[in-house]
Structure 1
């Protein structure tokens, strides 16, 4: 793999890792401010998994394109459907 490609892989992996941590922290903070607990926790679980995997990758200093591709897909899908899923989960668990 070329140096430029490797550099992009590292940068994008770190962005996904930090975004995942930020998302989980924001969901927990929203719960403490009175938002629905169960839907927020359920939507935070995939990001928590990505944060853990990203932390392991960061610690080992080994990155993989599958993490980047899966992270981009996860972030896109969850952000697009977040409001709809939030309401559906709230109505289901209510």
Structure 2
């Protein structure tokens, strides 16, 4: 792998890692401010997984393109359908 592509891999992996941490923290703060508990917890589960995997990758300093590709796809899907899924989950569990 070239040096440039490795730098992009590291950069994008860290962006996904830190974004996942930020998203989980924001969802926890929203829950404490009165947002729906179960839908927010369910929708933040993939971000928790990405944060844990990303933390391991950063600690070991070994990165993989599968993490970047899966992160980009799953984060995009969740953010695109988040409002719709939030209401559906709330209606299902209440």
- Give distance in 1, aligned partners of 2:40 and 2:76: 17
Aligned-pair distance for 1:64? 0.2
- Give distance in 1, aligned partners of 2:29 and 2:37: 10
Q: How many residues of Structure 1 are paired with residues of Structure 2 in the alignment? A: 94
2:37 aligned partner: 37
Report 1:6-85 matches (<5 A).
6-85=6-85
Unpaired runs of 5+ residues, structure 2, are: none
Unpaired runs of 5+ residues, structure 1, are: none
Aligned-pair distance for 1:82? 0.1
Q: Could you tell me the TM-score, scaled by structure 2's length?
A: 0.99
Aligned-pair distance for 1:50? 0.4
Q: What is the RMSD computed on CA atoms of the aligned residues? A: 0.3
Q: Could you tell me the TM-score, scaled by structure 1's length?
A: 0.99
2:2 aligned partner: 2
- Give distance in 1, aligned partners of 2:81 and 2:19: 17
